[in-house]
Amino acid sequence: MVRRDVLHRPEDLDHKIATEGLTDANGGTVKAAPAIGSYQQRLSDAQGRRTDVFLRIDEAAALEDRTAGHPGWPHVTGALCRRQGGMSLRLPDAAARPTLWNGLVARLGKEAGELISGICTDLGDDNDVTPAEAGRRLADAADLVRVAVELE
């Protein structure tokens, strides 16, 4: 029996919101449920803010596999990473690495410059970087980390 009167902690609500985003990215509960061999009501309960139902890891993984590269991806994995103080970052394909070290260093410098330039722009208007402005810089920071990983 599904409880529908649960008051979740903020980090659990983040998981529910991520589940909703993942379900939406898969075309809603009608399309997502059959893709993982489940029922529409189960997915609806898993994203419900007042229910005690959560996606299983295999369900989240299967749905995230279907949405790789879409905005917000990986929804649930990203929420779990943030819960632990980290971030989700897609690693570069090792087979597609450029072979020239100096090319990677040049890309690293470019990405770092873009990130720093963005931060300076944010500081320029009020000498502060708001949480919203910092959030907009996360993509640049992720690009920087991807290039740094390729250097390894």
CB under 8 Å to 8, separation ≥6 — which residues? 16, 49, 50
Predicted confidence pLDDT, tens digits, the chain (152 residues): 899 999 999 999 999 999 999 999 999 999 999 999 999 999 999 999 999 999 999 999 999 999 998 888 999 999 999 899 888 877 666 565 556 777 878 888 888 888 888 888 888 888 888 888 888 888 888 888 877 777 76
Which pTM does this prediction carry? 0.66
**What is the phi/psi pair of residue 37, to 5°?**
70, 35
Q: Report the 10 Å Cβ neighbour count for 123.
A: 12
82: nearest Cα among 142, 136, 15? 15
